[in-house]
Structure 1
């Protein structure tokens, strides 16, 4: 029997893993194949899923092998169980108070299967190549709506476990149909499809504007069109990805296209913000060396962030380094967001200095005010999509997971529309040179709002 000391450190790591799973909304639930190799953790989290009134779990465990341990392997001290996030802190409290010595003994969890049903039973020192130690279990949940996490408990000190695990969790909206998307994520295919048509319409409208106003079009306007098109294609692939997962439990290759377009869209969006922040193509036709260095720093960071995202999605929380990858991804994403703000600050500083020496003071100050507006909008966009959306996903019920996705996507769409409106091709775009006749009007406008946007 495992003592409290044996559970302490692994359970602390599990608590962190589950907290990150709660902070980062996910539409998990597809069929997963996972490999555990010589793992000595007391608790291994696998996947979480939101069940409606009727659902089920199919679990296929094979290639079980043990190493280490003290004495005989008591198979009833090993097993899989389901636990809600609300109940897990109370399970930890039961172990802390020594009311129980193993999570499998808690009345707050639902035991899926003990290892005593292994066929044939494994040898303590390992499994022969000629033998296949495995078992299958089908676990039905009726009138048990809630968000459950599938976990594995190893209540034997120093015992290390190796196994291959294939899990499939699903809801049963109809007796003959399985829905592999978690409750609250079932609406995502429709939501992403609607957003795809919204961005496709936006791209078509932007292309029409560029065609009609060719005399006022700059190179950055075409780059903005490319960013919108990549975002639309990303949403299309995500809609198909989620639709296939919901019906079959597998993405059937749509996840590869989704990763590709997510990668391109992320790099292009951050590059666009840097280019706009430097005033490239609007205020000047070239980039300074320091601005080029920012772009060369942002792009590799985005590459790292996308690789980390793929690694996180593919490994899942059962991986021993899952928490580390999640922290790396969050850190790199924050660094990218901070980096894109630097060129905007430089442009504001340069315009402020020019306003003191240039005869066109009101013109430069008007541009300065407009860059302040954009700076504030970028900060709000980054803060809401990186912090606000995740906080919303953590606060709302699992049944309304789609609402946090909608909030983030609508904020992104609003940011795209705002950027397009402010930087649209126009003869008298306020980000470009202001005519002499507008000098007096610009000076008058600055008297009203210059103080309101001091950094």
Structure 2
């Protein structure tokens, strides 16, 4: 086996471990003059009654140097538990083609195709042992170009009649997302009631927060329907379009609300400064790019040549957005600290300072958990428990929303703004001590 093929496999396996699992479904793909030695199509968790159906047609293989060996091109399944053994085998026998490895489940090679001009193959293969498998195509003929139409169906069928096109460990997601959408609708109802009771304390930011809850609920409803139709039929029936639309709106609104709260807009001042507007102008386009990357990853899967690049784009943009939304909160904290020493309202400004410090800690905790802890759960969780990472992310998001909305609820007697004379004296003393320390 050539070094390029070995390197390609190792690179794919690295990204297999450190990227979210791909949701399997019925997919029809076109590959045109592709010279990649390895192509990863799907990752799927099979039960003891799993099946992999692969159909290819319009197959052509061209090479400029020598005639390609049909036995060195083929599709195979690689279980997660066999990855290390395959890598060791390739290290010991560099010239071995991976389709001949004893540690893979070979489906077919191009020797099994019907003769030209109608080169094709269509067969369903039962999975012998339950587990998480990756569907690969290998081309061990360096310099050859492969063109073909590929149709894949990976599914589980417990009763032999009904197919489940969601990977084992993700079958619970439709019900899971629907339940959380109900939570957010109830949350929205409470928020509307709270705003109605304290309408004289309602600011524009409270209305935007209500819109955020509505969009989040709709996003979860569309996610539930998307997963449901994918589970039952193998296709999303257009629900994926609505899902990505509301996912984009939810992401933009969430980051916008955090930035506006962090700047004190509608609480401390009715306007945004120039540098705060620039943060919004940076975050919103980046969110557009991040959602485009998410759509490419989610809809096309790892078979596209730029899959690794789009994964890197998504991670980079997400990190930039998370860092950018922290700056307005830090600016508000610094501004409140300076104002508290000059305007004679020490306790009130100190309370606001405490509020924004706590909000900063909450945002940091939310970003750390959803970007690092959840990511780790996605990569280390068994294929049977892939739903755990989704559950952890949604629980963390709901807790974050509840804490943020409680901290900035529209009430006259908000504990952060209600002060008495004693608190005023204590605040002045605290600020004087802080100034001496500085």
Is residue 216 of structure 2 the alignment partner of residue 218 of structure 1? no
| CA positional deviation for 1:70 | 3.6
Q: What is the distance in 2 between the residues matched to 1:99 and 1:317?
A: 25
Corresponding residue number in structure 1 for 2:381: 396
CA distance 1:441–1:146, shift in 2 (3 Å)? farther
CA contact (8 A) 1:312 1:322 kept: yes
CA distance 1:445–1:373, shift in 2 (3 Å)? farther
1:440 aligns with one of 424, 429, 433: 424
Corresponding residue number in structure 2 for 1:84: 79
Corresponding residue number in structure 1 for 2:312: 327
CA distance 1:25–1:141, shift in 2 (3 Å)? closer
Corresponding residue number in structure 2 for 1:37: 32
Higher mean displacement: 30-39 or 341-350: 30-39
Corresponding residue number in structure 2 for 1:141: 127
Q: Give CA deviations for 1:259-285 in whole Å, capped at 9, x if unaligned.
A: 100010000000000000000000111
Corresponding residue number in structure 2 for 1:126: none
- Taking the TM superposition and a 5 Å limit, the aligned residue runs for 1:140-159 are 140-142=126-128, 144-159=129-144
Q: What is the distance in 2 between the residues matched to 1:172 and 1:67?
A: 38
| CA positional deviation for 1:210 | 0.8
CA distance 1:189–1:441, shift in 2 (3 Å)? farther
Corresponding residue number in structure 2 for 1:373: 358
Kindly report the root-mean-square deviation, in angstroms, between the aligned alpha carbons of the 2 structures.
Answer: 2.0
| CA positional deviation for 1:446 | 6.2
1:7 aligns with one of 5, 25, 29: 5
With normalisation by structure 2, the TM-score equals: 0.95
1:24 aligns with one of 6, 20, 27: 20
CA contact (8 A) 2:347 2:419 kept: no
1:235 aligns with one of 217, 220, 223: 220
CA contact (8 A) 1:17 1:317 kept: no
Unmatched 5+ stretches in structure 1? 122-130
Corresponding residue number in structure 2 for 1:288: 273
SS at match of 2:340: helix
Corresponding residue number in structure 2 for 1:270: 255
Is residue 289 of structure 2 the alignment partner of residue 304 of structure 1? yes
CA contact (8 A) 2:2 2:95 kept: no
Corresponding residue number in structure 1 for 2:63: 68
| CA positional deviation for 1:49 | 0.3
| CA positional deviation for 1:435 | 4.7
Corresponding residue number in structure 2 for 1:359: 344
Unmatched 5+ stretches in structure 2? none
Q: What is the distance in 2 between the residues matched to 1:441 and 1:337?
A: 38
- Taking the TM superposition and a 5 Å limit, the aligned residue runs for 1:407-422 are 407-422=392-407
Q: What is the distance in 2 between the residues matched to 1:16 and 1:308?
A: 19
Matched length: 434
Q: Give CA deviations for 1:167-201 in whole Å, capped at 9, x if unaligned.
A: 00001121211111000000001100110100000
SS at match of 2:157: strand
| CA positional deviation for 1:444 | 9.2
Q: Give CA deviations for 1:415-447 in whole Å, capped at 9, x if unaligned.
A: 000011001111132455x45546438639969
Q: What is the distance in 1 between the residues matched to 2:207 and 2:120?
A: 57
Corresponding residue number in structure 2 for 1:197: 182
| CA positional deviation for 1:357 | 2.2
Is residue 99 of structure 2 the alignment partner of residue 104 of structure 1? yes
Q: What is the distance in 1 between the residues matched to 2:293 and 2:421?
A: 53
Q: Give CA deviations for 1:209-261 in whole Å, capped at 9, x if unaligned.
A: 11111111111101000000000000000001100011000000000000100
CA contact (8 A) 1:183 1:399 kept: yes
Q: What is the distance in 1 between the residues matched to 2:58 and 2:415?
A: 67
Q: Give CA deviations for 1:55-103 in whole Å, capped at 9, x if unaligned.
A: 1011111121122254222211110000012312321221121176111
CA distance 1:119–1:379, shift in 2 (3 Å)? same
Corresponding residue number in structure 2 for 1:349: 334
SS at match of 1:425: coil
Q: What is the distance in 2 between the residues matched to 1:11 and 1:34?
A: 21
Q: What is the distance in 1 between the residues matched to 2:2 and 2:121?
A: 29
SS at match of 1:87: helix
SS at match of 1:245: helix
2:118 aligns with one of 109, 125, 132: 132
With normalisation by structure 1, the TM-score equals: 0.91
